Chains A and B, each alone.
Chain A
Amino acid sequence: MQAAATRSIATEMTYREAVREALRDALRRDKRVFLMGEDVGRYGGCYAVSHGLLAEFGPERIRDTPLSESGFTGAGIGAAMAGMRPIVELMTVNFSLLALDQILNTAASVRHMSGNQFGVPLVIRMATGAGRQLAAQHSHSLEGWYAHIPGIKVLAPATLEDARGMLWTALQEPDPVLIFENVMLYNMTGPITADAGAVDIGKAAVRRAGKDVSLITYGGSLWKTLEAATALASEGIEAEVIDLRSLRPLDDATIMQSIAKTRRAVVVDEGWRSGSLSAEVGMRIVEQAFWELDAPIGRVCSEEVPIPYPRHLENAAIPQAPKIIAAAKAVLARR
């Protein structure tokens, strides 16, 4: 293999490795970047994302923290305010609740509240989602809650390219960016070009073109939605799959363009149904594309229960391809 000609050659990588590459790339390129969180250093990261980084970059830049979510998230905020580019890793969105005060009342608010004197260029990464039988306290999908907060940006990389490329772009933002990595994606393997780099963070992506119904989703649910779309195709239903990628801000234009074409929508969201991000997406469709619709908007969300431990109950609680297929057919009035 000629090294010079391998620029566009694809290599196999896991989502985890893609995130690690993104971290490594950022740490190398910008001295202000450092990673801070529980077990990111010596342990190598709860999900092995930061494995090997401590050895490569040292303890000043890969900082193990005590179990002090509020403390070290606030520290990340302060460090960002004073010129660094910290990446705070909150082990999971479940524990992020302990840092919610710092995220909302300081990080998201300071710029507006101080009259634009201080900004917080902070990136916070969190694992999210259910599927590993980790039971109620370890299985939340709260991206939708965070997407409610003005002053921050919220991203959900679902593909290798996005896992690899969103981080650097997020680090360039002058305001806080939250990146949610679905736990079920870390092991996902796929091809990625060797020179894959930074990607945009404001636009949704049409992952599959179609004309009969728009399936709108993000994060871990993307792959189930694509699976559903393939199954639908075998029955003559061509679904268009939209990966939101950015949950705040939402890319209305891409969504409405799709609705104008298909006239039908199903939103797939791993959050609990009531007051979820799917409600926001649905409402925006009603606001902006009401006259394009041929059917009520459908959605597939998590059942409104604390996520239970046994596999069959957990599977029943979160979105799955069969439910997505059924929802798509329902808006097409087919059985």
Chain B
Amino acid sequence: MAEFRMPSLGADMEAGTLVEWLVKPGDLVKRGDIVAVVETQKGAIEIETFQAGRVEKILVALNTEVPVGTPLAEIRGDGEPAVVVPPAAPVPLAAPPLPPQAPSAPIRVPASGARILASPAARRLSEQSSIDLSTVKGSGPAGAIIYADVAQAGAAAPPAEKRKAQWLDLGAMRTAIAAAMTRSKREIPHYYLQDQVDVTGCEQWLTEKNAALAPDSRLLMGALAIKAVALAARRFPLFNGFYLDNRFSPSQAIHVGVAIAIRGGGLAAPALHDTDRCSLDDLMSHMRDLVQRTRAGRIRGSEISDPTITVSSLGERGVEALFGIIYPPQVAIVGIGKVVTRPWVIDGAIGPRSVVTITLSADHRVSDGHAGALFLAEIGKLLQEPDKL
């Protein structure tokens, strides 16, 4: 039994409507006989059978639209061998041709409020050299940052400039701080030590030194403390480095991170590079610059990631002692309290002295109290000779 199907009559024919049968069941047909009329979008077309035999059964009612290939009638073959033609093998779908150049992954733009116009070349360079685009001034079309601008910014520190735009997304910063501090407390077994240091000598030395300096180049106590910490860290490497992959890697270089409060509730602790090798004057000016830039939201990426130990001070408005939480992957943080006048015993007599409480929070996986005490003591000792800092 062979099926007479709705034929495809054209490249764009998908269906047809049978409008007339020219044969009925029982009729004998031969190859080439017209057996029905189909209505198509072009008009009525007569369709022929390629099967010879007797019409057995009509399968489709008139005036129904059916898709090409639908069986319309059954024709019983008359001894003529039916040419069995297997159904059309599916034509392989063309694979979409590969683009000649796969575009590289888009450069990740730092979260910011305003959009930064920077050329693709500039963006790539800034990512490669960890330069924050928001700190770079653009000289290209429409003020866009171009490659040369970024290259230049990498070579020298950009001039300090007030930016009106609010870079600081304090919400994001708080979240980051929360994550870091939580991790620190969770992973790092802290131990805490404190020591009181007589800094009267420092104060006197500073007064003398600063008398000859302009206000904006005067040294502050904080600089002395930071330098002392850096020099002490040279002698006690267990407090200067990173704890990563279950291992402590002491750092050759000493970059003291300086905790800086940001108006609005933010906090950052960027590095003063090679603190131990800076002169006090340089240290002071770097600190000033760092504070200014940090508060304006223009620190470089390397400054954020490079500190090998952190010093935190709340200054004059602070408390007597502050115990910091270590910034991972660092292994120590030194806290400097405010300078207070205390009764002190010198050479057997009681007299007023300027005293500051210095604390150490340290990673017990790396060091223990004994080492910590020596480290703290060293800091105190160094502060007795400010002219040697």
Contacts and interface: CB of A to CB of B under 8 A. Distances in A.
Establish whether A and B are touching in the complex (CB under 8 Å).
yes
B81 interface: no
A292 B100 CA distance: 17
Contact of B147 (A294, A331, A333): A294
B140 A295 contact: yes
A333 B141 contact: yes
A263 B141 contact: no
Given A263-B121, A294-B121, A294-B147, A288 B101 contact: yes
A330 B142 CA distance: 11
Interface residues of A, number: 13
A29 B112 CA distance: 70
Given A293-B119, A294-B122, A288 B140 contact: no
Contacts of B103: 287, 290
B120 interface: yes
B109 to A, nearest CB: 14
B152 interface: no
Interface string B102-137: 011000000000000001111010000000000000
Q: Interface centre among B124, B139, B141, B147, by most A CB within 10 Å?
A: B141
Interface string A282-325: 00000110111111100000000000000000000000000000
A243 to B, nearest CB: 23
B101 A263 contact: no
A331 B142 CA distance: 10
Contacts of B148: 294
Nearest to B149: A294
Q: Interface centre among B100, B122, B142, B146, by most A CB within 10 Å?
A: B146
A293 B120 contact: yes
B121 A292 contact: yes
B101 A295 contact: no
Interface string A237-270: 0000000000000000000000000010000000
A227 to B, nearest CB: 24
B121 to A, nearest CB: 5
A293 B101 contact: no
B104 A294 contact: no
A295 to B, nearest CB: 5
B283 to A, nearest CB: 38
A288 B100 contact: yes
B101 A331 contact: no
A291 B124 contact: yes
Contacts of B146: 263, 294-295
Given A292-B120, A296-B141, 8 more contacts: A263-B119, A287-B100, A290-B103, A290-B120, A291-B104, A294-B119, A294-B121, A294-B122
The 6 A-B residue pairs with the shortest CB-CB distance in the complex, in nearest-first order: A333-B141, A294-B146, A291-B120, A294-B119, A288-B101, A287-B101
10 contacts: A263-B147, A287-B103, A291-B104, A291-B121, A292-B121, A294-B121, A294-B140, A295-B140, A296-B141, A333-B139
